[in-house]
Amino acid sequence: MASRALWKGQLRLSLVSIPVEIHSARNSGARVSFRQIHQPSGKPVQYQKSVQGVGPVENDDIMKGYETDKGEYILLEREEIDAIKLETKKTLELVQFVDTSEIAPIWFDRPYYVVPTDELAEDAYRVVRDALRQSKKAGLGQLTMRGKEYLCAIRPCGDGLLLETLHYEQDIRDADPLFSSIADAASDKELLEVATQLIDKKTAPFDASAFKDHYAVALKDLIDRKRGSKKTKRVSTSGDNKRPEGENVVDLMDALKQSLKQSKGGKTGGGPRKKAS
């Protein structure tokens, strides 16, 4: 399955602008995923947006609300939010460079691949890649993607560039309240020496292929065993696995029952009801 670009724009270094695309570096399809099933009926569980006292609502009637006081919200139109003009919606400018070792792991969020959009952009792209590789630096900048502005670090990765979104300062909790109770005392010298020797003995180049997701393997094994057993409970959702058009589709029977309650058994637009004899 072809990768879909999550962002398209310009990677800018001073006066040089390079057309690029950003793709997720994560393979979400590699993990085992489940669908929630209602056991008595054997049907998939559906979700719909609803309001207390109102019931299911339409997407067009939903606005974004920012809480100013408890229970009070400022309502924002989607068009108002989309109208916010940020250069980072289409341009990722490298405004600072730092040694790659300066960024502690706690700041990293998600990885993305940055690729040139065409052959004409490759020359400038390679120059930026090789300059970062030679200087052992990471470039810092910001971009707006999916309604949020991200702080980003770009560094070489194989033949290309890797972008990693970073947390902002306010996103990271202060560790002092958690670590302050740990006594600030020197470790026992003999124990420290043994621990250091153990670390040295187990030191090797990093190779991600040496590690397996044992939980995922066990889940797949369980699924294979259940699939091959005649005792396994099974349900068929062949007639129910089509996604409804829109997110607010109400089950027809529920809708009819609600209409029946509202009408209280009377005829729409009719005259007075006869009393039961």
The confidence band for 11, taking pLDDT boundaries of 50, 70 and 90, is: very high
The confidence band for 66, taking pLDDT boundaries of 50, 70 and 90, is: confident
pTM above 0.85, yes or no: no
* 32-45 CB burial, b ≥16 within 10 A, e <16: eeeeeeeeeeeeee
In a domain, 67, yes or no: no
CA dist., res. 6 & res. 3, Å (int): 9
Q: What is the mean pLDDT of the chain?
A: 83
CA 94 to chain centre: 24
Q: Report helix, strand and coil shares of the chain as percent, to nearest 5.
A: 30, 30, 40
Q: What is the CA radius of gyration of the chain?
A: 29
- The range of the structural domain enclosing residue 1 comes to 1-27+78-170
Mean pLDDT of 34-43: 82
In a domain, 11, yes or no: yes
Specify the number of domains making up the chain.
Answer: 1
Question: How many residues does this entry show for the chain?
Answer: 277
For tokens 């962002």, what's the residue?
7
Q: Encode pLDDT of 123-155 as tens digits.
A: 999 999 999 999 999 999 999 988 889 999 999
In a domain, 5, yes or no: yes
In a domain, 217, yes or no: no
Q: At a CB cut-off of 8 Å and minimum separation 6, what does 4 contact?
A: 23
By the 10 Å C-beta count (0-12 exposed, 13-18 middle, 19+ buried), 57 is classed as: middle
AA identity, residue 162? L
Phi and psi for 231 in degrees, rounded to 5? -85, -10
In a domain, 136, yes or no: yes
By the 10 Å C-beta count (0-12 exposed, 13-18 middle, 19+ buried), 200 is classed as: exposed
Q: Which percentage of the chain shows pLDDT scores above 90?
A: 40
CA dist., res. 15 & res. 141, Å (int): 15
Look up residue 196 and give its DSSP letter.
Answer: H
In a domain, 104, yes or no: yes
In a domain, 105, yes or no: yes
Mean pLDDT of 183-212: 89
pLDDT of residue 130: 95
In a domain, 121, yes or no: yes
Tally the C-alpha atoms within 13 A of residue 98's C-alpha that lie toward its C-beta.
11
- The CATH code of the domain that includes 103 is 2.40.290.10
18 touches 115 (CB < 8 A): no
CA dist., res. 45 & res. 253, Å (int): 16
Cα dihedral 116, 121, 127, 132 in deg (nearest 10): -30
Highest mean pLDDT among 71-85, 229-243, 251-265: 71-85
